[in-house]
Amino acid sequence: MLWDSFKNLLGWAFKNNIKMITSISKELYEVQIPNFTGEVKMLPFNLENLAEIPTQFKEMVSKMIEALPIKKGIAYLTVDGKLVEKGKTQRRGGVHIDGNYLPSLSWGNGGGNGWKVGEGGRILSSKEHKLSYENETGGMLIASTYPACKGWNGVFEGKPYVGGDCTRLKGLDEGFVLKPNTVYYGNSQWLHESLPIDKTTHRIVARITLPMDYPVLGAVGKGF
Protein backbone atom coordinates (compact mmCIF):
# COMPACT_ATOMS: atom_id res chain seq x y z
CA MET A 1 0.00 0.00 0.00
CA LEU A 2 1.26 3.44 -0.95
CA TRP A 3 0.48 4.88 2.47
CA ASP A 4 2.49 2.11 4.20
CA SER A 5 5.57 2.86 2.14
CA PHE A 6 5.21 6.56 3.02
CA LYS A 7 5.00 5.63 6.68
CA ASN A 8 8.11 3.39 6.47
CA LEU A 9 10.11 6.09 4.74
CA LEU A 10 9.01 8.68 7.28
CA GLY A 11 9.96 6.35 10.15
CA TRP A 12 13.44 5.97 8.66
CA ALA A 13 13.78 9.73 8.21
CA PHE A 14 12.64 10.40 11.77
CA LYS A 15 15.24 7.95 13.17
CA ASN A 16 17.96 9.62 11.16
CA ASN A 17 16.75 13.14 11.93
CA ILE A 18 16.12 13.91 8.29
CA LYS A 19 13.25 16.24 7.43
CA MET A 20 10.86 14.95 4.81
CA ILE A 21 7.85 16.36 3.07
CA THR A 22 5.04 13.93 2.31
CA SER A 23 3.11 15.47 -0.54
CA ILE A 24 -0.21 13.79 -1.26
CA SER A 25 -2.87 14.78 -3.74
CA LYS A 26 -5.55 13.07 -5.74
CA GLU A 27 -7.72 13.96 -8.71
CA LEU A 28 -11.32 13.50 -7.62
CA TYR A 29 -14.07 14.48 -10.06
CA GLU A 30 -15.41 17.27 -12.23
CA VAL A 31 -17.07 20.34 -10.78
CA GLN A 32 -18.89 23.30 -12.26
CA ILE A 33 -17.36 26.57 -11.12
CA PRO A 34 -19.78 29.50 -11.46
CA ASN A 35 -18.61 32.57 -13.32
CA PHE A 36 -17.17 35.07 -10.87
CA THR A 37 -15.01 38.17 -10.80
CA GLY A 38 -13.55 39.24 -7.50
CA GLU A 39 -12.14 37.58 -4.46
CA VAL A 40 -13.54 35.71 -1.49
CA LYS A 41 -10.72 35.20 1.01
CA MET A 42 -10.75 32.44 3.57
CA LEU A 43 -14.46 32.67 4.35
CA PRO A 44 -15.05 30.44 7.40
CA PHE A 45 -17.93 27.98 7.02
CA ASN A 46 -19.43 24.98 8.69
CA LEU A 47 -18.69 21.77 6.76
CA GLU A 48 -21.87 20.24 8.14
CA ASN A 49 -24.42 22.67 6.67
CA LEU A 50 -22.51 25.21 4.50
CA ALA A 51 -24.63 27.88 6.22
CA GLU A 52 -22.16 30.71 5.58
CA ILE A 53 -21.57 29.92 1.90
CA PRO A 54 -23.08 32.51 -0.50
CA THR A 55 -25.87 31.01 -2.63
CA GLN A 56 -23.90 31.29 -5.87
CA PHE A 57 -21.18 28.95 -4.52
CA LYS A 58 -23.33 26.45 -2.58
CA GLU A 59 -23.62 23.87 -5.34
CA MET A 60 -19.90 24.07 -6.14
CA VAL A 61 -18.87 23.75 -2.50
CA SER A 62 -21.16 20.79 -1.81
CA LYS A 63 -19.69 19.04 -4.85
CA MET A 64 -16.14 19.84 -3.79
CA ILE A 65 -16.60 18.36 -0.32
CA GLU A 66 -18.48 15.28 -1.57
CA ALA A 67 -15.40 13.07 -1.14
CA LEU A 68 -14.82 14.04 2.49
CA PRO A 69 -15.57 11.17 4.88
CA ILE A 70 -16.12 13.61 7.75
CA LYS A 71 -18.19 16.72 7.15
CA LYS A 72 -17.64 18.49 10.44
CA GLY A 73 -15.68 21.48 11.61
CA ILE A 74 -14.85 24.89 10.21
CA ALA A 75 -13.31 25.08 6.74
CA TYR A 76 -12.45 28.18 4.71
CA LEU A 77 -13.52 29.10 1.20
CA THR A 78 -11.36 31.13 -1.18
CA VAL A 79 -12.58 32.06 -4.66
CA ASP A 80 -10.46 34.20 -6.95
CA GLY A 81 -11.78 35.19 -10.38
CA LYS A 82 -9.92 37.60 -12.60
CA LEU A 83 -8.42 38.25 -16.00
CA VAL A 84 -4.91 36.80 -15.97
CA GLU A 85 -2.57 38.12 -18.64
CA LYS A 86 -0.47 35.76 -20.71
CA GLY A 87 2.78 34.96 -18.93
CA LYS A 88 1.51 36.04 -15.48
CA THR A 89 0.69 33.77 -12.56
CA GLN A 90 -2.69 34.22 -10.96
CA ARG A 91 -1.74 32.81 -7.59
CA ARG A 92 1.47 31.92 -5.83
CA GLY A 93 4.35 30.94 -8.09
CA GLY A 94 7.31 28.87 -6.87
CA VAL A 95 6.93 25.42 -5.38
CA HIS A 96 5.37 25.67 -1.94
CA ILE A 97 3.03 24.01 0.50
CA ASP A 98 0.06 25.89 1.90
CA GLY A 99 0.41 24.28 5.31
CA ASN A 100 -2.33 24.83 7.83
CA TYR A 101 -4.33 27.95 8.45
CA LEU A 102 -4.00 29.09 12.04
CA PRO A 103 -7.10 31.21 12.70
CA SER A 104 -5.61 32.63 15.90
CA LEU A 105 -2.90 34.35 13.82
CA SER A 106 -5.29 35.85 11.33
CA TRP A 107 -4.46 39.45 10.44
CA GLY A 108 -7.46 41.47 9.64
CA ASN A 109 -9.41 40.78 6.49
CA GLY A 110 -9.32 37.01 6.51
CA GLY A 111 -5.95 36.92 4.82
CA GLY A 112 -4.69 34.61 7.51
CA ASN A 113 -1.10 33.73 8.03
CA GLY A 114 -0.10 34.75 4.58
CA TRP A 115 -2.60 32.46 2.97
CA LYS A 116 -2.37 33.70 0.26
CA VAL A 117 -2.97 35.52 -2.73
CA GLY A 118 0.38 35.19 -4.12
CA GLU A 119 3.00 36.41 -1.75
CA GLY A 120 5.12 34.69 0.88
CA GLY A 121 3.71 34.42 4.37
CA ARG A 122 4.45 36.43 7.45
CA ILE A 123 7.26 35.22 9.62
CA LEU A 124 5.98 32.74 12.16
CA SER A 125 7.56 31.67 15.43
CA SER A 126 9.12 28.23 15.19
CA LYS A 127 6.19 26.77 17.13
CA GLU A 128 3.70 28.35 14.74
CA HIS A 129 5.77 27.29 11.75
CA LYS A 130 5.72 23.68 12.96
CA LEU A 131 1.96 23.79 13.49
CA SER A 132 1.35 25.24 10.09
CA TYR A 133 3.93 23.58 7.88
CA GLU A 134 5.14 20.42 9.60
CA ASN A 135 1.82 18.91 10.52
CA GLU A 136 0.46 15.76 8.96
CA THR A 137 -3.18 16.77 9.24
CA GLY A 138 -5.18 19.43 7.45
CA GLY A 139 -5.44 19.84 3.71
CA MET A 140 -7.41 21.38 0.88
CA LEU A 141 -9.72 20.85 -2.04
CA ILE A 142 -8.97 22.93 -5.11
CA ALA A 143 -10.34 23.47 -8.61
CA SER A 144 -9.87 26.03 -11.37
CA THR A 145 -11.39 26.87 -14.73
CA TYR A 146 -8.12 26.89 -16.71
CA PRO A 147 -4.95 24.78 -16.33
CA ALA A 148 -2.23 26.89 -14.68
CA CYS A 149 -1.28 24.95 -11.56
CA LYS A 150 1.27 22.21 -11.10
CA GLY A 151 1.46 19.63 -8.34
CA TRP A 152 3.77 16.88 -7.12
CA ASN A 153 3.10 13.66 -5.23
CA GLY A 154 5.67 11.75 -3.24
CA VAL A 155 8.04 11.88 -0.29
CA PHE A 156 10.86 14.39 -0.67
CA GLU A 157 13.86 15.16 1.48
CA GLY A 158 13.88 18.73 2.73
CA LYS A 159 11.75 21.13 4.69
CA PRO A 160 9.46 24.07 4.03
CA TYR A 161 10.89 27.53 4.69
CA VAL A 162 9.10 30.79 5.50
CA GLY A 163 5.53 30.80 4.22
CA GLY A 164 5.81 27.17 3.11
CA ASP A 165 8.47 27.97 0.50
CA CYS A 166 9.81 24.73 -0.99
CA THR A 167 11.80 26.11 -3.91
CA ARG A 168 14.99 24.70 -2.37
CA LEU A 169 13.66 21.17 -2.35
CA LYS A 170 15.80 18.70 -4.28
CA GLY A 171 14.70 15.76 -6.36
CA LEU A 172 11.44 17.13 -7.73
CA ASP A 173 10.35 15.52 -10.97
CA GLU A 174 8.22 17.08 -13.70
CA GLY A 175 5.08 16.99 -11.61
CA PHE A 176 1.65 17.20 -13.20
CA VAL A 177 -0.59 20.00 -14.42
CA LEU A 178 -4.03 20.08 -12.83
CA LYS A 179 -6.96 19.60 -15.20
CA PRO A 180 -9.56 22.37 -15.43
CA ASN A 181 -12.96 22.11 -13.73
CA THR A 182 -11.73 19.16 -11.71
CA VAL A 183 -11.54 18.89 -7.94
CA TYR A 184 -8.23 17.84 -6.43
CA TYR A 185 -7.54 16.91 -2.85
CA GLY A 186 -4.19 17.91 -1.40
CA ASN A 187 -2.81 17.37 2.08
CA SER A 188 -1.36 20.31 4.01
CA GLN A 189 2.10 19.35 2.69
CA TRP A 190 1.05 19.07 -0.91
CA LEU A 191 3.69 20.63 -3.15
CA HIS A 192 2.25 22.89 -5.82
CA GLU A 193 2.73 26.13 -7.68
CA SER A 194 0.83 28.55 -9.86
CA LEU A 195 2.17 28.55 -13.45
CA PRO A 196 2.45 31.47 -15.87
CA ILE A 197 -0.71 31.22 -17.96
CA ASP A 198 -0.27 30.45 -21.68
CA LYS A 199 -2.90 32.91 -22.93
CA THR A 200 -4.80 35.85 -21.48
CA THR A 201 -7.79 34.27 -19.77
CA HIS A 202 -10.46 35.01 -17.20
CA ARG A 203 -9.61 32.32 -14.67
CA ILE A 204 -11.41 31.30 -11.51
CA VAL A 205 -9.79 29.36 -8.70
CA ALA A 206 -11.82 27.86 -5.86
CA ARG A 207 -10.14 26.43 -2.79
CA ILE A 208 -11.47 24.94 0.41
CA THR A 209 -8.99 24.87 3.26
CA LEU A 210 -9.80 22.05 5.64
CA PRO A 211 -9.63 22.28 9.43
CA MET A 212 -6.07 21.86 10.69
CA ASP A 213 -6.89 18.60 12.46
CA TYR A 214 -8.51 17.05 9.40
CA PRO A 215 -7.14 13.51 8.87
CA VAL A 216 -5.10 12.82 5.73
CA LEU A 217 -7.31 11.24 3.10
CA GLY A 218 -5.87 8.13 1.56
CA ALA A 219 -4.50 6.99 4.92
CA VAL A 220 -5.71 3.50 5.77
CA GLY A 221 -9.44 3.44 6.35
CA LYS A 222 -9.96 7.11 5.52
CA GLY A 223 -10.87 6.68 1.86
CA PHE A 224 -11.37 9.39 -0.68
Q: How far is the CB of 80 from Fe ion (least distance, A)?
A: 11
Window 133-192: residues binding Fe ion (CB under 5 A): none
Q: How many residues bind Fe ion (CB under 5 A)?
A: 2
Of the two residues 59 and 136, which places its CB atom closer to Fe ion in the complex? 136
Window 39-68: residues binding Fe ion (CB under 5 A): none
Of the two residues 149 and 216, which places its CB atom closer to Fe ion in the complex? 149
Rounded Cα gap, residues 47 and 67, in angstroms: 12
The site map against Fe ion for 71-100 (x = CB under 5 A) is ---------------------x-----x--
Of the two residues 98 and 165, which places its CB atom closer to Fe ion in the complex? 98
Asked whether the beta carbons of 41 and 77 are under 8 A apart, the reply is: no
Would residue 43 be called left, alpha or beta, if left means φ above 0 and alpha means ψ between -120 and 50 degrees?
Answer: beta
Of the two residues 63 and 207, which places its CB atom closer to Fe ion in the complex? 207
Of the two residues 63 and 92, which places its CB atom closer to Fe ion in the complex? 92
Closest by CA to 148, choosing from 99, 87, 97, 208, is 87
Q: How far is the CB of 15 from Fe ion (least distance, A)?
A: 31
Task: Name the residue with the smallest CB distance to Fe ion.
Answer: 98
Q: How far is the CB of 77 from Fe ion (least distance, A)?
A: 15
The site map against Fe ion for 94-133 (x = CB under 5 A) is ----x-----------------------------------
Query: What burial class does residue 178 get, using C-beta atoms within 10 Å of its C-beta: 0-12 exposed, 13-18 middle, 19+ buried?
Result: buried
Q: How far is the CB of 92 from Fe ion (least distance, A)?
A: 5
Q: How far is the CB of 143 from Fe ion (least distance, A)?
A: 13
Q: How far is the CB of 66 from Fe ion (least distance, A)?
A: 22
CA angle 31, 32, 37 (to 5 degrees): 125
E strand intervals along the chain: 20-23, 25-30, 38-46, 74-84, 139-144, 149-152, 154-157, 176-177, 182-187, 191-194, 201-209
The DSSP string of 30-80 is E-PPPP--EEEEEEEEETTT-TTS-HHHHHHHHHHTTT-S---SEEEEEEE
Where on the chain is the footprint of Fe ion (CB under 5 A)?
92, 98
